Amino acid sequence: MADKIFEESRLADVYDLFDSSERPDLDPYIAMTEEFGAQSVIDLGCGTGILACRLAALGKEVIGVDPAVASLKVASRKAHADRVKWLHGTTAMFSGLQVDLITMTGNVAQVFVTDEEWMSTLRECRGVIRPGGRLVFEVRDPSKEAWKNWNCEQSYEVIEAPGIGRVETWVDLVDVQLPLVSFRRTFVFQRDGTVLTSDSTLRFRSRSEIFDSLFAANLPVEDIRDAPDRPGLEFVFIARCSD
């Protein structure tokens, strides 16, 4: 089940407005698509479709997969969305597909909180990546304890959303029971006073845990890179299927 921030239509409609329009975190994925010569891509957990549409604009064959209908509706309205195949669901939708690259951006790789969910996801990915293809995803380095900044004081934002009005949001830390961290994001729509919240839980796996899990899924690690927009805070894993 998707978090409310992605499934509730009012939240999905404003989600992109709280992110930088430049989305520098996606640039490395665009570059790696070219670096690896990938012509077909699955964006797993594609959300509102920014990466999928950017790749489609470059002439790639793109499949965007997400469990949240509201997010996919937003994605379908973007430029070049008509060039993307949108699938509502999870890796269970992968049957019959074959691609050169699978991406998981943002927090996607950390939403699989149990070992069973994570290993099942990796194996499903392995099954549809062509020989020589890759799985690329990012995770937060647990040693940096990012959750210490998840509070109202450091996360408060306010925007003026076209046709919607003034919207405020902030994050509150709910619980830390490592390796799980739970938090709540609150949105206030000032025009009508509506307050909506979305609860999320992320799994913080260590570098070695992820390395071992990829090996167990027959996805040996080719490289581990830094996230250019958040240097020193995240790992970008590149796993390559053997030829």
Kindly report the number of other CB atoms within 10 A of residue 19's CB atom: 13
Instruction: Identify the pLDDT of residue 153.
Output: 95
Taking the model in full, what pTM does it have?
A: 0.95
Dihedral over alpha carbons 147, 14, 69, 136 (to 10 degrees):
-50
Q: Which residues of the chain fall short of a pLDDT of 70? A: 1-2, 20-22, 243
Q: Which CATH superfamily is domain 4-141+204-240 in?
A: Vaccinia Virus protein VP39 (3.40.50.150)
DSSP letter string, 168-226: EEEEEEEEEETTEEEEEEEEEETTTTEEEEEEEEEE---HHHHHHHHHHTT--EEEEE-
- pLDDT (tens digit per residue) in 193-213: 999 999 999 999 999 999 999
Report domain extents, the chain: 4-141+204-240, 144-202
Instruction: Identify the pLDDT of residue 5.
Output: 73
- pLDDT (tens digit per residue) in 63-113: 999 999 999 999 999 999 999 999 999 999 999 999 999 999 999 999 999
For residue 32, the one-letter residue type is M
Instruction: Identify the pLDDT of residue 243.
Output: 67
Instruction: Identify the pLDDT of residue 21.
Output: 56
β-pairing verdict for 129-140 and 99-104 = parallel
CA pair distance 168, 173, nearest whole angstrom: 17
What is the helix (H) or strand (E) element at residue 138, kind and residue range?
strand 129-140
